[in-house]
Structure 1
Amino acid sequence: MQNSILSSRRRGDLEVEALLDAGLALMVASGGRRPRVADIVAAAGSSNDAFYRCFDSKDALVEAIVERGARTVVRYVRHRVARAAADGPEAQLRAGLAAVVRQAADAELARRTRAVLANGAAPAPHAGHIGVRLVDALAALLAQPAAELGAADPLRTARTTAGAAVAALQYWLFTEEVPGAAEVEHLVGFLLAGVRAPDPRRLRR
Structure 2
Amino acid sequence: MARSGPAPRAAHGTLAAMESTRLEWDGAPASVRAAVDRALRRHQRDALDELGQILDAALRVAVRVAPAEPRVSDIVAEAGSSNQTFYRYFAGKNELMHAVMERGVLRVRSYLGYQMAKQTGPADQIAAWVQGLLTQLTVPEVATQSIAISRLTLRSGGSSPGRATLDDQLGELLVAPLAAAGRPHPELDARAMLDVVLGALERHVATGTGPDTVEREHLVTFCTDVAGGA
8 Å Cα contact 1:66-1:116 kept in structure 2: yes
8 Å Cα contact 2:122-2:227 kept in structure 1: no
**Residues of 1 paired with 2:169 and 2:107: CA distance?**
12
**Residues of 2 paired with 1:120 and 1:110: CA distance?**
15
Q: 1:202 is matched with which residue? A: none
Trace 1:149-160 onto structure 2 (pairs within 5 A).
149-160=181-192
In the alignment, residue 90 of structure 2 is paired with which amino acid? Answer: F
Q: 2:125 is matched with which residue? A: 92
Q: Which runs of 5+ in 2 are unaligned?
A: 1-34
8 Å Cα contact 2:126-2:223 kept in structure 1: no
Residue 141 of structure 1, aligned match among 149, 173, 186: 173
Q: 1:203 is matched with which residue? A: none
For 1:164-192, what per-residue CA distance to the aligned partner results, in whole angstroms no more than 9, with x for missing partners?
11111112232222323332111110122
Q: 2:75 is matched with which residue? A: 40
Answer yes or no: is 1:180 the counterpart of 2:215.
Answer: no
Q: Percent identity?
A: 31
Answer yes or no: is 1:163 the counterpart of 2:178.
Answer: no
Q: 1:80 is matched with which residue? A: 115
Give the alignment's TM-score, normalised by structure 2.
Answer: 0.77
Structure 1 residue 130, shift from structure 2 partner: 5.0
Give the alignment's TM-score, normalised by structure 1.
Answer: 0.86
Q: 1:130 to 1:65 in 2, by over 3 A?
A: same
Q: Which runs of 5+ in 1 are unaligned?
A: 199-205
Count of paired positions: 195
Q: 1:59 is matched with which residue? A: 94
Structure 1 residue 20, shift from structure 2 partner: 0.6
**Residues of 2 paired with 1:103 and 1:163: CA distance?**
16
Corresponding residue SS for 2:156: coil
Q: 2:66 is matched with which residue? A: 31
CA-based RMSD of the aligned residues comes to: 1.9
